[in-house]
Amino acid sequence: MSEKNCLGKKFLSYQFRKAIRLLLFGGVFLLLLGACKTPPEKPFDFSGIEKLVFSGELKKAELLADSIKAAGTLGEINLYKLDSIVDIGNRIRIDFVRTEVEVKDQLSKYFTVLDSTLFNKWETTQKLEMRVIDGEKRYFKNTVANLFRLDDEARKQKEIVDGFQVDSLDLFRLEHTRKIISATKTSGEAVMPVRMKLTYLIDVDINAVPDGEMIRCWMPFPREGNARQKNLKLISSDPEEVKIGGNEYLQRSVYLEKRAKKDQPTIFRIEFEVESSAQYFDLNPDEIKSYNSESSVYKENTSERAPQIVFTPKIKKLANQILADETNPLKKVQKIYNWISDSVRWASALEYSIMPDIPGYVMDTRHGDCGMQTLLFMTLARSQGIPVKWQSGWMLHPGEVNLHDWCEVYFEGVGWVPVDQSFGLQESPDEKVRNFYRSGIDSYRLIVNDDYGRELSPNKKYPRSEPYDFQRGELEWEGGNLYFNQWNWHMEVEYK
């Protein structure tokens, strides 16, 4: 997953902030006003303003929101929802910040004479990702870099100018996965442990929050109970007082607080050690048992979960095309994995919060980052009765430290098996090495999440910057959420 940025939310009034303290975002809303019994607030139809936001008519959406507020008919809950919808428009503006002139200027290094027909073709096929915002073309901030990932001819032209670049991570993974397979004597055992000391920093921009106000910070922290992740130890933190979320939280965090100081950055830091191991399952289709469809594991992990895991007609049609009449669970997983690996390219992602249907987007554009590819894999697999759950955190390969998402598939009689969709099929004549990430994971991982879009500890008062994943962290203060454009993150890894 590539780094994402988005725009901060406007500060809320004191009265509104006070009401928000009584809200559980994404849960059941309850408002108690003294001893008086207040009738529940009637739902308000926001579909019109949502349509304006996602069609790029952001100014109209803001004017409509202002007129709705001016009418004075909305209660605090609906006002909160309205502000959240308008804020999506702010995030869209940040992701789609490039003008056509800027994009063509970036491309001029590689195309001294840029054919307009070719440019329009890239735009039509979404290899140059563009949206019309308030009547003007605006391009995704990373669209030029993505073009060279998505278009073969463009990439060849880039190689002529910049030279051919060898992917060092691909080479590292090939050698590392060979060693994992060789070291695995019993299918699924944890092997080749790597001890690491990690230092994670969050640096809040100077004066992003008024002097003296408390900043609340949630930082990613490793989950326990997985055979691949052991010997966890928090070494130090700044500030010293922290609250570590219990392991029952499927998105685990360290919670810290600090007061903002005028003209100074606010820095949060944690330092911890953890041991991460690899795991490889050498699975045989004939040994895979039929699922117990009445078990809680099966029911929970084969269900839909709107808005991102929905068995749409398009999903069902694609799954049927990929699988034909296949009935074996392992072969189903392998066929879905192979199809995505062969058909979908990795590309830098939009912010997930501005994407109402990520699997549908990946099917339409045939590109997506690690989490987007994983969500498509999960949706296709679940639609065919394969239990699968989200897992994510960080990839910690030397020189390649970054956010990363993958998942785990459940096979009856085997248990949970890691699957890294975006790492794909490796270039190797050895079938086990080639297919390693269909049923294996390397040693360089940090598991923070065993699901997506779950509560943090303590629960946030304001909507999250990233509503699904949790890797960079989350911050807020009494005036609202702090979005990614208002702070920076940095991970340092020392290999023991």
Confidence of residue 43 (pLDDT cuts 50, 70, 90): confident
pLDDT digits (tens, 9 = 90+) for 96-109: 999 999 999 999 99
Confidence of residue 39 (pLDDT cuts 50, 70, 90): low
Contacts of 360 (CB under 8 A, 6+ apart): 312, 314, 315
pLDDT digits (tens, 9 = 90+) for 380-418: 999 999 999 999 999 999 999 999 999 999 999 999 999
Residues in the chain: 496
- How far apart, in whole angstroms, are the C-alpha atoms of residue 229 and residue 274? 7
Has residue 442 got a pLDDT over 70?
yes
CA neighbor of 246 nearest in space, from 457, 449, 390: 457
Average pLDDT over residues 239-266: 98
- The pLDDT assigned to 15 comes to 33
- How far apart, in whole angstroms, are the C-alpha atoms of residue 117 and residue 89? 31
Q: Are 190 and 228 in contact (CB under 8 A)?
A: yes
Has residue 31 got a pLDDT over 80?
no
Please give the model's pTM, rounded to 2 decimal places: 0.90
Has residue 306 got a pLDDT over 90?
yes
Share of the chain above pLDDT 90, in %: 90
Q: Are 165 and 414 in contact (CB under 8 A)?
A: no
Domains annotated for the chain, with CATH where assigned, are 14-94 (no CATH), 100-162 (no CATH), 184-278+451-495 (no CATH), 283-438 (3.10.620.30)
Q: Are 381 and 304 in contact (CB under 8 A)?
A: no
- The pLDDT assigned to 426 comes to 98
pLDDT digits (tens, 9 = 90+) for 146-182: 999 999 999 999 999 999 999 999 999 999 999 999 9
Has residue 27 got a pLDDT over 70?
no
Report the side by side order of strands in the sheet with 243-244: 243-244, 253-259, 214-220, 474-477, 480-482
- The pLDDT assigned to 14 comes to 31
Q: Is the dihedral of CA 146, 359, 50, 125 positive or negative?
A: positive
Q: Are 491 and 115 in contact (CB under 8 A)?
A: no
Least confident piece of the model among 12-16, 43-47, 249-253: 12-16
Residues 30-45 as b or e (16 or more Cβ within 10 Å = b): eeeeeeeeeeeeeebe
- The pLDDT assigned to 41 comes to 78
CA neighbor of 308 nearest in space, from 388, 250, 385, 245: 388
